[in-house]
Chains A and B, each alone.
Chain A
Amino acid sequence: MSDDTQHDARTDGGTGIVPPDDDTPTWSERKSRRAGLPRLTYEYFERARREDQDLRQESTYVERDVLAFPTWPHELIRNLALTSFFVGMLLLLSATLPPHIGDPANPSSTPSIILPDWYLYWSFGLLKLNDLNPAISLLGEQKLMADRTFGVLANVVVVGAISVVPFLNKGSARRPVEQPFWAAIGMGGVTFALTLSLLSIKNLMPMDVHLLFDLTFLAPIVIGCLTYAVLKTMREGYMYDLNRRYYRLRPPK
């Protein structure tokens, strides 16, 4: 063990979940938790603490002193609980919301409204940016390119912006509070996808089309600023020290 680890004996980030070695519970404290859920919870954390301690003692890796949880049972039991929850949700919803099965599609008639699948609505919305296509005065107020060309170029721009993001930000933050700016960019992007999807079905939307068009571009900015403000405020919160510690503990690139 190096001198560093001896000076800094608390390795749990100050959360108290994994107590340091001189703070382990006494036998009377252990015996007092003997029934039901408190017992199970206690055993869970006690075993996690114990395994963490053993791993730490065996480890020769000094740089990183949080060694995570083992896959079995900790990760798998958590995943099983989440899986059961969502399977139960699916069963409940399919039993209580029985979907009405419509008439079979008629291949000889074209529907009046043609839409892509819902997950492509954002791209479909980018084809409806006619109002943004600039008219050049030198060309006698003619549009530089056809609206459909403009829509395809808008797709190129958006996909290009998404492709550039991983090169600008390496994504080393584990939680949004660590990098509020990039989290705000992400939330703005998600909102933009949503509002573009709504724009793509503007003939089904029960609101003014021009207002919808303005909201398509304003709402992402508003949501992004809101996210930035909330995350900046959350940095004062109780988990930020732990997050920063995780961030520091990451092995150097």
Chain B
Amino acid sequence: MADEFMKGFGLFSIASFLWLISASWYRTPSFESNRQLISPPPAEPGTVFDSVGIFLGDLMFWTALVGAFTFWVIIPAGRQARNAMVVDE
């Protein structure tokens, strides 16, 4: 169980760290604004690197959420369900 926790936590922290970097570049109009990290990205990315950066940021955001949810909820719940079915035999 501890292993699954650590996998989920590792995914969550690393992916959200990468999301933080991407969001600070593309979703922060100014470090003095009240809407840092959550502003919409520029509609017209300047270069292909910008669009890749925005895409990777979104990807990391969902990796953090879905990864943690998978390892903390779905896999343990699946194991519990399987064990519950085996005991009934």
Give the B-binding residues of A (Cβ under 8 A): 93, 96-97, 99-100, 102, 204, 206
Contact = CB atoms under 8 A, between A and B. Distances in A.
14 contacts: A93-B21, A96-B21, A96-B24, A96-B25, A97-B20, A97-B21, A97-B24, A99-B31, A100-B30, A100-B31, A100-B32, A102-B32, A204-B34, A206-B34
Nearest to B29: A100
A219 B84 CA distance: 36
Contacts of B20: 97
Nearest to A102: B32
A97 B25 CA distance: 7
Nearest to B18: A96
Given A97-B24, A99-B31, 12 more contacts: A93-B21, A96-B21, A96-B24, A96-B25, A97-B20, A97-B21, A100-B30, A100-B31, A100-B32, A102-B32, A204-B34, A206-B34
Report the 3 A-B pairs with minimum CB-CB distance, sorted nearest first: A96-B21, A100-B31, A97-B24
Contacts of B31: 99-100
A100 B29 CA distance: 10
Contacts of A97: 20-21, 24
Nearest to B35: A206
Contacts, number: 14
Interface of B: 20-21, 24-25, 30-32, 34
B5 to A, nearest CB: 12
B49 to A, nearest CB: 13
B72 to A, nearest CB: 15
Nearest to B20: A97
A80 B35 CA distance: 37
From A93, A96, A204, A206, name the one whose CB has the most chain B CB atoms within 10 angstroms. A96
Contacts of B21: 93, 96-97
A206 B38 CA distance: 14
Contacts of B34: 204, 206
A97 B21 CA distance: 7
A96 B22 CA distance: 9
A99 to B, nearest CB: 6
Nearest to A96: B21
From B24, B30, B34, name the one whose CB has the most chain A CB atoms within 10 angstroms. B24
Nearest to A238: B2
B22 to A, nearest CB: 9
Nearest to B32: A102
Nearest to A92: B21
B14 to A, nearest CB: 12
Contacts of B32: 100, 102
A102 B21 CA distance: 20
A123 B32 CA distance: 24
A93 B18 CA distance: 10
A99 B20 CA distance: 14
Contacts of A99: 31
